Structure 1
Amino acid sequence: MAISKILVVDDVATDRMHLREILTDAGYQVITAASGREALSLANSDKPDLIFLDIVMDDMDGYQACRKLTSGESTKHIPVVMVSANKQKVDKLWAQKQGARAYVTKPYTSEDITNQIQKFR
């Protein structure tokens, strides 16, 4: 699967822009969302190839958004990578149960991010 367009979802602007910068520097087209609801809308309209999704957000947490994305008819094929400062094994397992295909912990390096993308090529 070719990855060219990536949706970055995080309610913290600096975190969103940091990940966007890593991805654009690596040559990817990036779209961003500041909430779970916005992510659902953009995933349906812009059809990204991959989604990086923060867990802790106000309107809808990343777990809820992931469940909706991975069960939606037009979005269930899009791999979701959860991004969080939570490093507990239980958080990673719960993300997987919600449909996430991978999990990245903050703080991350550009290499951490590009390594995740390589898994879906």
Structure 2
Amino acid sequence: MKPSKVMIVDDSPVDLQHLKQIMADAGYQVITATDGQDAYDKAKAYRPDVILMDVVMEGVDGFQACRNITSDKDLASIPVVFVTSKNQRADRVWGELQGGKGMITKPYTQAQIIDTIAAL
């Protein structure tokens, strides 16, 4: 089943708006959150099909938010894809260990975002 509801999590208003536009133009319903705690709360409330999550955020960062989501039995099936400026191999490995299903490095293309979600 193709995902239809996507949550975008980023504390940068510019990045949040850019991803939101990409997803809306591709026909997805979009939910936004601005930090890791907000992401967890909205995931509980709205049950998105996939989550695109920044890593570096104030408060609860993306890695911690991913751990919170993937360790919650009601949310564990929601794939989390990190969209981040962190691009070291260690970051990718750590992201996978937190339960992430992929990592897209900023700057990204519209095709990278769409293709990654379509592959889930």
How far apart, in 2, do the equivalents of 1:86 and 1:103 lie?
9
- 2:2/2:118 contact within 8 Å kept: no
Q: Does the aligned pair in 1 maintain the 2:63–2:95 contact within 8 Å?
A: yes
Unaligned runs of 5+ in 1: none
Alpha-carbon distance, 1:2 to partner: 2.4
> Within the alignment, does 1:82 sit opposite 2:96 as a pair?
no
TM-score by length of 1: 0.97
Tell me the SS of whatever aligns to 2:100: coil
Separation in structure 2 between the aligned mates of residue 114 and residue 64 of structure 1, nearest angstrom: 25
Residues 92 and 103, structure 2, Cα contact 8 Å, conserved in 1? yes
Percent identity (aligned): 44
| Partner Cα separation in structure 2 for residue 102 and residue 88 of structure 1 | 13
Please give the per-residue CA displacement for 1:51-91, whole angstroms capped at 9, x wherever unaligned.
00100000111110000000101110000001111111110
Corresponding residue number in structure 1 for 2:115: 115
- State the TM-score, normalized to the length of structure 2: 0.98
Please name the residue that 1:68 is paired with.
68
Q: Which runs of 5+ in 2 are unaligned?
A: none
Aligned amino acid, residue 107 of structure 1: P
- Counterpart Cα distance in 1 of 2:2 and 2:60: 29
Match of 1:114, SS state, is helix
- Which SS does the other structure have where 2:59 is aligned? coil
- The one-letter code of the counterpart of 1:117 is I
Give the letter for the 1:66 counterpart.
C
RMSD: 0.6
Partner residue of 2:43?
43
